Amino acid sequence: MPRHTPAPLLAALEAALDAPIRTLDDLPAALQRLARHALEHQAAAVASFTADGQRYLASRAVHDRSAILVLGPYRRHDDPPTGTPVLDAAAEARARRALELAVHDLSQVAVAERQRRALASQLDLISSAAIAITAERDVETVLHRIVDLAREVVGARYAALGIKDEHGAALRFLFSGMSAEEQARFAEDPHGRGLPALLLREGKTIRLADLRSHPASVGFPEGHPEMRSFLGVPVTSRGRILGNLYLTDKETAGEFTDEDVRLVELLARYAGVAIENAGLYQRAEGQQARLQAIIDQLPEAILLLEPDPDRVTLVNTQAARLLGWEIHPPIPLDAFLEANARYQADEVPLAPSDVPVVRALRYGETTRREVRIQRPDGATITTLVNAAPLRDPNGRITAAIAVFQDITALKDAEQLKDDFLALVSHELRTPMTTIQGGALLLLQSGEQLDAETRRMILTDIAGESRRLAGLVENMVQLANIRAGRFGLDSEPIHVRTLIERAVAALRDSAPQHTFEVGVEPDLLALGDPSRIDQVIHNVLHNAIKYAPGATPIEIRAARDNGMVVISVRDHGPGIDEDDLPFVFSRFERGRQVVLRHTSGLGLGLYLAKHLIEAHGGQIWIERPPDGGTCIHFTIPAITDDR
């Protein structure tokens, strides 16, 4: 008998019979064994036994072997005197009848209590499982949980869940309690005929003690296990039948109970909501995936921020590429901002509170401004940011969106234009002034000038014309490189001849220098002669600019590992350490050149680099220990096997 048996009822019996009454669980172990032995071996409804000279009566409910009451100890009048109650024959007879009735009533109480506990346990199981089911987004997981839970709640041997397809037929089944081997023995899958079809048509619960006796039963497929008791419950949501739950062979009784029906119908309602929610989740995720795919295809970088707490909830591929790191939303706003330093156009650091999208999210500002962003790899880009808040119908800010473009190339082009105009206006003015002045002087006073003066003026005009032609050629080359109009006409080159021709062309413009040429005999290269000639001219011009007067300029060429290495060395002051990273950049000129007021656009080495790399070679600078500068470049050599 369970310990929760109502104590007031036992107390009333004790008062009426004037003898103690206890449940079996309240007795010492020795008395429990004697009571059970007496009940097992005596045919009467109430058994008697003695222990330590004391008398006891034990009674057990007919349909509940766990419900046992024991009266005692007591004695009769002729027993030795003790402190226990005395029951005469009449009192003992009343006690027997009272025990028989009481144990029956208390058995019913115990059964009801066990049922209550079982129901509470089932409800707890359904409640906790329902929470897990409705939170699950994967439909397959939801369906498996439903069918397993249904079988467990009602104690069925087998359970199945049939789900309707979009055409209204239950063609898909999931099973519980049946091994994979058992399912594999089916000659064919169930098709939703018979009772399943009836459930789908009528949408009402069906409970049967023997499903084979129902008129709609069509038997079992080959290999299907035999089943008797049956409970079928429709799974519905919003008035639509989504499928059915089938439970068979209740293990603790011959058929399913009313309570089983209520529990499974409750679970079926949860299941309908869960299936509906899972479908909604899938559709929402599909729409979100399509939206993300569309946003990722946009050429502009896009960010979406949401408040409370402030976080980044959407980032497209272009934004991650532009910012230079993998972004996996949602991410706290502070962490997002820390990944990239931001500056104003004038290089002043931009405070996080002044970032356009933050202003939009927190203060509702619509902003359009330039922001310089430093990537994790150290590169800095210039972006044009458009940020705006998103509001609900009540005007409350619910999100902020930022669209930003990388305008680094545009800013570079703008700066290039400014630098180009500044340099051209300065560099072209000098030769044009010389040419114009000399020509006017010859036109106006040429007859009065002696022959030597006229020759000097004409020499200056010719020299400045060559210089002007060189400037124009460099600008044309720059334009062609930037526009992609750049080609090579490769052929065998006799390296010594090409170098000597370039030196001869420059001797008149640099009479103060001596040129020392050292070329390996029979050295042949493969390349565009005009392009390589331009590179040699540009590198020699660079040496002349840096080298003081009356110092030699050395030109060497030799074969090395399948390439021709050409080196030009001057003995000037050398290139400052700070200038080295920018030597091959456009419009960049060494500090020594500027200090010495040497003319030039700063394009010579920039163009040389592009021309050499187009040939598959390299160009670099060394600073010899004894001073000066040495520029090396390589072009493919023609060897015996090529």
Lowest average pLDDT, out of 6-20, 413-427, 539-553, goes to 413-427
Lowest average pLDDT, out of 370-379, 400-409, 502-511, goes to 502-511
Q: What are the backbone angles phi and psi of residue 635, rounded to the nearest 5°?
A: -140, 155
Neighbouring CB atoms inside 10 A of 601's CB total 22
| Residue 4 scores a pLDDT above 50 | no
Confidence of residue 3 (pLDDT cuts 50, 70, 90): very low
Neighbouring CB atoms inside 10 A of 113's CB total 14
pLDDT number for residue 123: 62
pLDDT in tens, 616-639: 999 999 888 888 889 999 999 987
Confidence of residue 517 (pLDDT cuts 50, 70, 90): very high
pLDDT in tens, 97-151: 888 777 777 777 766 666 666 666 666 666 666 665 655 566 677 778 878 888 8
Whether the CB-CB separation of 361 and 337 falls below 8 Å is answered with no
Neighbouring CB atoms inside 10 A of 129's CB total 20
Measured between alpha carbons, how far is residue 25 from residues 13, 48, 72, 105, 298 in Å? 18, 18, 14, 17, 77
Confidence of residue 223 (pLDDT cuts 50, 70, 90): low
pLDDT in tens, 152-171: 888 888 888 887 766 655 56
| % of the chain with per-residue pLDDT over 90 | 14
Q: What is the mean pLDDT of the chain?
A: 80
pLDDT in tens, 7-21: 666 777 777 777 888
pLDDT number for residue 1: 42
pLDDT in tens, 225-239: 777 888 988 888 877
pLDDT number for residue 420: 65
pLDDT number for residue 632: 94
> How much is the average pLDDT of 479-487?
65
pLDDT number for residue 495: 92
Q: Decide which of 521 and 184 is more confident.
A: 521
pLDDT number for residue 42: 81
Residue type for 524, please? L
Lowest average pLDDT, out of 50-54, 253-257, 470-474, goes to 470-474
All residues at 6 or more sequence positions from 14 whose CB lies less than 8 Å from its CB, including other chains? 20, 21
516 three-class SS: strand
635 three-class SS: strand
Confidence of residue 597 (pLDDT cuts 50, 70, 90): very low
pLDDT number for residue 423: 59
Q: What are the backbone angles phi and psi of residue 335, rounded to the nearest 5°?
A: -65, -40
| Residue 395 scores a pLDDT above 60 | yes
Q: Decide which of 65 and 380 is more confident.
A: 380
| Residue 404 scores a pLDDT above 60 | yes
pLDDT number for residue 635: 94
> How much is the average pLDDT of 553-559?
93
> How much is the average pLDDT of 310-318?
89
Whether the CB-CB separation of 59 and 100 falls below 8 Å is answered with yes
DSSP character string of 304-365: EEETTTTEEEEE-HHHHHHHTS---SSEEHHHHHHTSEEE-TTSPBPPGGGSHHHHHHHH--
pLDDT number for residue 218: 64
pLDDT number for residue 578: 67
pLDDT number for residue 128: 62
pLDDT number for residue 549: 74
Confidence of residue 204 (pLDDT cuts 50, 70, 90): confident
pLDDT number for residue 115: 64
Measure the CA dihedral 65/69/72/76, to 10°: -80
| % of the chain with per-residue pLDDT over 70 | 80
Q: Residues 80, 86, 90, 93: is their CA dihedral positive or negative?
A: negative
Q: What's the CA gap between 474 and 602, in Å, rounded?
A: 10
pLDDT number for residue 293: 78
pLDDT number for residue 594: 41
Classify burial at 272, counting beta carbons within 10 Å of its beta carbon; exposed 0-12, middle 13-18, buried 19 or more: buried
Measure the CA dihedral 216/222/228/229, to 10°: -70
Q: Decide which of 167 and 297 is more confident.
A: 297
pLDDT number for residue 600: 45
